[in-house]
Structure 1
Amino acid sequence: MEGIRSHERSSSSKIKEIGEILGMLGESNRGRDWIINETKKHHLKIPAQTSLNSYEILSRCPTIFITNLHRAMKGNSVKGFEDVQSLTKAYHWLFTDMVGGSNPTIPTKDQVRKIVALNELIRRTETFRNRDHTSTVILPVGDGVAVGFSDSQEKPLRLAIEIHKALFRYNENKVGKDKLAIRIGIDMGPVYIVEDLNGKDNVWGPGIILTRRVMDLCGEMNIFASARIGDDIRKLSPEYEEILHPIGNYSIKHGEELVIYNIYGEGFGNKIAPRKAKVVAPNLERDIRTVNNFSFNYLKINLEIVDPKTAFTRHTWFMDVTNASKKPMDQIFYSLDGDTPKEFGDLNVNVRDDHNNVLEILSVNVNKPYHKEFNIQLNRPIKPKQKRALILEYDWEEPERTYFYRFASGCKHFVFSLTTKKEMKLSMKVLKADTETGSKIDATTMPVISSDDGKTVITWEKKDLIIDEAYQFNW
């Protein structure tokens, strides 16, 4: 009986290793012919039937061959597989492709035209033009490109920013499907120099594979970097620290997780990060459930730009909430995000109830430079179906002149208001955001502009909003 179980475990392990081998082969553009060549090198008597696919060939190979091949392709030194486990070289990678490049509604000629345009934009960037040819690897990949630098970990970041700024200029006069949108992943790691079927040197290995997976997490116009490279880059200058925003753990293939930075700033990147594949910590899941115990009857978010030069902004939320749960609630959870690094104590957070009582901040759960989470203790519990008015105030600069809000609960009536001095020039645009993909479209309702006591007031409102509905306000 034990022998049967051992055989089943061995068979299961072999199947798993074959699956990972096939995945790595696909990512390195190697296939059936390469597998056959490897079996011949090791004098394996595998039927060379033309009808056998890659999996069928590998499944006919001895278990020890599969295990050694798998270990070698993972970068381990295995006797007899030295040509697979070639000498490695470390690179810092940028991997990009077009969003919607395989959209069947876009004519092939238009897609090709976009690929040509993207390549030309990359060629014109300063980082690409001034690259060291001896330490740079360039790999065309479908409708994008992978670029590796062995001489600098900053170059992928600088190249990404330059590409984005060039794209924003390119898209200024484009509309709809004519616009060119991309996604960019940045990571670091070793690759092997391998000879392809044409006898030319190519590269493949963990570095480029994981960079591709970082890119796959991106939404439209996102620039993501793994913590492997992001942690080091942030330490190089205050400028880099301001544009690399940690957004948590994301799940990739084979059950692995990566800590991801979202890179954005003026003229590059996308502040909205897709939630797909996001790994939510257990305590955060609990907090989110607490948020969903309340629904908004009315929510007004007012931003008053006190000092246009420093972008110092007073935020005030006027809330009328209902306890939608089946039990009394004596706490409310809040989550705040900003564009400049701040300590929680510098935000001047103040929460009051309908009797103007200042409420106690019970706990600060997250105090990251750009993200805060905290709980408020209510003076009186809110019973099921009972309503309560609350006011939240805090100070946070808005230098990017953009504000994003996602509804963690339903809202019957929402109002966004921006108040500033009359001499400040404003051009309000409201975008509806897809939190899964990061894409944005113009909101159907237009904002209203008015003047009051020497100030300009811009107001936008909408009714019957649902959970996860999100909007971005640019001015």
Structure 2
Amino acid sequence: MKEILFKSTRQNSMKIPNNLVHAAFFFTDIVGLSDPIMSTETQTAKIQGLNQMIQECNTYKKTKENEMFVLPTGDGMAIGFKDGLEQPLDLAIEFHKKLKKYNENKTKIDKILVRIGCHVGPVFLVKDILGNLNFWGQGIILARRTMDVGDDWHILLTSTMAESLLEVSLRYKEILYPLHDYEIKHDQKILIYSAHGESFGNKSSPKKGLIEKSIINEKTLEQNQKITFEHVKFELRLQDSDNRIFHRRTYKITNHFEDPIYEITTGIITSVKKSFYDLDVKAFNDDVELQIKSINVDTDFIKEFTIKFEHPVFENEDMEFTITYASEAAKNEFNNKFLINAKKFDLIFSYSSNLKIKNPKAKLIQNETEKQINIEPNIKRGIFTQVYWDTIKDISIGDEIELIWE
């Protein structure tokens, strides 16, 4: 590998070590192989079966020897693909399909159960004590630790790899599901995705390392000390008679703190049971989709998550970001309790005029006084009816907005 030089603005050269490579990693092991009731013969047969099935996968066979490196681990293996991002997941899916067929007529003790972890990142190529090429670094370490979170049949990916795949092709949206934040070795917290479909993967969420701790109250207090919410706008578009609503929330903020702001934690409460994935939550700054850095809480009705801004927001700078999601309303109503102070708040409710919605009403319930203020709407009618309330000022933490319709 040739040494690569990057020129800095100071005319110095930063040398990239010639044994450093960037690769996409597939890491797997056999679940329960060390079970003491399992004979050595059965253990050996499982290792040989795993090796053979991997070798028979088209993804493995079509990859040139100089484009990948393989590290046997005794009860499994790690494979690094140097020239592609998609191969680890493609290999995992192909391997699972072969494995299910292999297990069809096997006894329980003879079935091969595996877990798989995938990540993309750098590694150093080094020679071991026997002079064989080996590799070590964040790329393979995070693939291994992601795998360790899983149970049998899990195909787990780091958010780095999953989000890169989602940018490559829309087909991955049908099989990649954000799970939650998990704690791995050295107290490191990572967001993990699961890949599953009809004949591969495991739909259940792994429990090992799961972090289910609300941080929104702590974060909200911290954020309210640093950020001014200049303008908040909630747009609700009723899509059909089944009360499915598309939500669009826009926040204009100003940083009045000396340190830059890189991320923000927020939450969503639904009136029906939904997973974070089911809501199809997205965040944007202008037309740029922002990274959902972590999912702190994902219960039936409550979601908490952290959004990473594309660029830091410096002191006295402002920016606008948007969150979108979709969910049904259990009744003809929408409620929201504010965890922020906002100088101005707009509420917009729109629907097809064919739905014949009647009497949409909104009221603000003030936290400190418990006073309920009915707000007069402005209405625009046409193919779509738009009802908006844009005179709501000085929202305080704990205030509630309530929207009902017939």
In the superposition, the TM-score normalised over structure 1's length comes to 0.45
- Kept in 2, the 8 Å contact 1:91–1:149? The answer is yes
Secondary structure (helix, strand or coil) at the match of 2:197 reads coil
Q: Deviations over 1:103-129 (max 9, x none)?
A: 111111101101111111111111001
Give the 5 Å matches for 1:268-287.
268-282=200-214
Amino acid at match of 1:275: K
1:345 CA drift (Å): 7.6
In structure 2, relative to structure 1, the CA distance for the partners of 1:245 and 1:196 (3 Å cut) is same
Task: Report the 3-state secondary structure (helix = DSSP H, G, I; strand = E; otherwise coil) of the residue aligned with 1:183.
Answer: strand
Q: Residue 87 of structure 2 is aligned with which of 146, 155, 158?
A: 155
Question: Is 1:134 aligned with 2:72?
Answer: no
Gaps of 5+ in 2: 1-16, 219-241, 243-268, 282-323, 339-406
Q: Distance in 2 between matches of 1:332 and 1:228?
A: 28
Contact 1:186 1:226 in 2 (8 A): yes
Whole-Å separation in 2 of the counterparts to 1:162 and 1:201 = 27
Matches within 5 A, 1:44-443: 87-282=19-214, 335-337=273-275, 347-350=327-330, 358=331, 360-363=333-336
Residues 126/339 of structure 1: CA separation in 2 closer, same or farther (3 Å cut): farther
Letter in 2 for 1:271: K
Distance 1:338 1:210, change over 3 A: closer
8 A contact 2:270–2:327 mirrored in 1:
no
Tell me the number of residue pairs that the alignment of Structure 1 and Structure 2 aligns: 232
Partner of 2:306: none
C-alpha contact (below 8 Å) 1:121/1:163 kept by paired residues = yes
CA contact (8 A) 1:242 1:341 kept: no
- CA deviation digits over 1:210-247, x for unaligned, max 9? 21111101111000000111110012112111111001
- The DSSP-based 3-state class of the residue aligned with 1:220 is coil
Give, in whole Å, the separation in 2 of the partners of 1:109 and 1:202: 28
Report deviation, 1:340. Answer: 6.8
In the alignment, the residues of structure 2 paired with residue 167 and residue 254 of structure 1 have an alpha-carbon distance, to the nearest angstrom, of 33
Q: Secondary structure at the match of 1:109?
A: helix
3-state SS in 2 of match to 1:247: strand
Runs ≥4 in structure 1, deviation > 6 angstroms?
A: 338-341
Shift of 1:336: 2.1
CA offsets per residue over residues 311-347 of structure 1, 9 Å max, x none? xx9xxxxxxxxxxxxxxxxx99753249877589865
Q: Is the 2:272–2:328 contact (alpha carbons within 8 Å) kept by the matching residues of 1? A: no
Task: Report the Cα offset of residue 359 of structure 1.
Answer: 6.8
Residues 86, 194 of structure 1: 8 Å contact kept:
no
Deviations 1:401-446 (A, max 9, x none): xxxxxxxxxxxxxxxxxxxxxxxxxxxxxxxxxxxxxxxxxxxxxx
Structure with bigger strand share is 2
Cα offset, 1:188, TM superposition: 1.4
Note closer, same or farther for the CA distance 1:100–1:144 as it changes in structure 2 (3 Å cut): same
CA contact (8 A) 1:106 1:177 kept: yes
- In structure 2, distance between residues paired with 1:251 and 1:93: 20
TM-score (norm 2): 0.52
SS state at 2:144 partner: helix
Residues 332 and 157 (structure 1), Cα distance of their counterparts in 2 relative to 1, 3 Å cut: closer
Secondary structure of 1:160's aligned partner: helix
Larger proportion of helix: 1
Using the TM superposition, give the Cα deviation of residue 199 of structure 1 relative to its aligned residue in structure 2, in angstroms: 2.1
Measure how far apart 1:285 and its partner are.
11
Q: Runs of 5+ in structure 1 lacking a partner? A: 1-84, 287-312, 314-330, 351-357, 366-475
Paired letter, 1:169: K
Query: CA, structure 1 residues 169+149, in 2 after alignment: closer, same or farther (shift >3 Å)?
Result: same
Distance 1:158 1:246 in 2: 18
**1:149 aligned partner, one-letter code:** F
- Residue 183 of structure 1: how far off its partner (Å): 0.2
Q: Percent identity?
A: 36
Q: Distance in 2 between matches of 1:211 and 1:345?
A: 30
Per the alignment, do residues 128 and 205 of structure 1 end up closer, same or farther by CA in structure 2, a change over 3 Å counting? same
Deviation digits for residues 130-163 of structure 1, max 9, x if unmatched?
A: 0121110011111101000010010001000000
* Change over 3 Å in CA distance of 1:133–1:115 after alignment to 2: same
1:111–1:363: structure 2 CA closer, same or farther, 3 Å change rule? farther
Give the Cα–Cα distance (whole angstroms) in 2 for the partners of residues 284 and 184 of structure 1: 32
Take 2:151 and 2:37, find their aligned partners in 1: how far apart are those partners? 20
Aligned mates of 1:210, 1:361 — CA distance in 2: 41
CA distance 1:146–1:345, shift in 2 (3 Å): closer
Work out the CA distance in 2 between the residues paired with 1:140 and 1:347: 46
